[in-house]
Amino acid sequence: MPGVTDVVVANVPGAGSAKLTKMLLTTEPSDGSVLGMISGSMPNSAVLRPDLADLKVDALRYVGNFSNEPLACVVRRDAGIDSIDDLRSEDFVFGATGRGSTTYVHAAIIKKALAASFDIVTGFKGVAGINSAILRNEIDGRCGVPLSRFATRYDPEVMEVVILVGPADASLADAAPTLLSLIEDPSVAEAVEFATSDVGYYSPLLLPAGTSDEIVEGYRTALEALLQDDAFRDEMTKARSTLNNSGGAAIESWVANRYQADPDLLERARALTE
């Protein structure tokens, strides 16, 4: 961004992005000096969880995101999960940061939608903490891994993708089954689709509530310029990361629609994420 010379990165752990979201809604300046990145599941969590009802995420200003690819749930190969039947019936443990995070929400939805028996343990400090626990054999896996980054974050000889959260796209069949492709009940499928729609807006960049349109547009223009930068794209290719910005306006529209959903649909989606 023109004129920007210093950037300070600060991690804000707490309740799966709920702490950072509250800061962006209440205490952070709206002058363009603060930019946040939260869990993509937070807008859904804000309307599905009564304890997060005060987080009016539709008041935040969304810049865009880097990817809208399917998210994978991965397990250690020695965990004994070789099929969807194993996923349903075997006792094992997924790790998660907090209940508002993708690591928890997607695991909870899979557990409810497929009537699975695995456990979900929360409280890890970021995905790095979850990954370390997996490698120490303290837990068996986690959800919320962008599919394109699986091989860069894990050794495929040690870890495997067991299920994908995202559109029931037949082109993904070689990677793993998608959750939606396994659900026959239309009512359950509708609730799952609502509760996992955050996949299209993975790790959104956003600005505090009250940020002016001028500042928001400046950031959106800067993000698009970054995504077209050859050096940046080369780095992302080396990291096997896809680049696909959904766009700040589209994300804001999606977030607004969270608050306009049919109450019955919200109740069914809420039951999946508890």
Which residue has better confidence, 147 or 114?
A: 114
In this prediction, residue 253 has a pLDDT band, given cuts at 50, 70 and 90, of very high
Residue extents of the structural domains in the chain: 15-68+200-273, 71-197
CA–CA separation, 255 and 267 (whole Å): 17
pLDDT digits (tens, 9 = 90+) for 6-33: 888 888 877 668 889 999 999 999 999 9
What was the pLDDT predicted at 168?
A: 66
- What single-letter amino acid sits at 198? D
Residue 244 in this model has a pLDDT that exceeds 90: no
Burial class (CB in 10 A: 0-12, 13-18, 19+), 188: middle
* pTM across the whole model: 0.84
Which of 91-95, 164-168, 209-213 bottoms out in mean pLDDT, i.e. has the lowest?
164-168
Q: Do domains 15-68+200-273 and 71-197 have the same CATH topology?
A: yes
Burial class (CB in 10 A: 0-12, 13-18, 19+), 207: buried
Mean residue pLDDT of the chain comes to 89
What angle separates helix 230-238 from helix 213-228, to the nearest 10 degrees?
A: 70
What was the pLDDT predicted at 29?
A: 95
**71-197 has which fold?**
D-Maltodextrin-Binding Protein; domain 2 (3.40.190)
pLDDT digits (tens, 9 = 90+) for 187-236: 999 999 999 998 888 889 999 999 999 999 999 999 999 999 999 999 88
User: Which tokens is 227 given?
Assistant: 């995504």
- Decide which of 3.40.190.150, 3.40.1030.10, 3.40.710.10, 3.10.20.740 is the CATH code for 15-68+200-273: 3.40.190.150
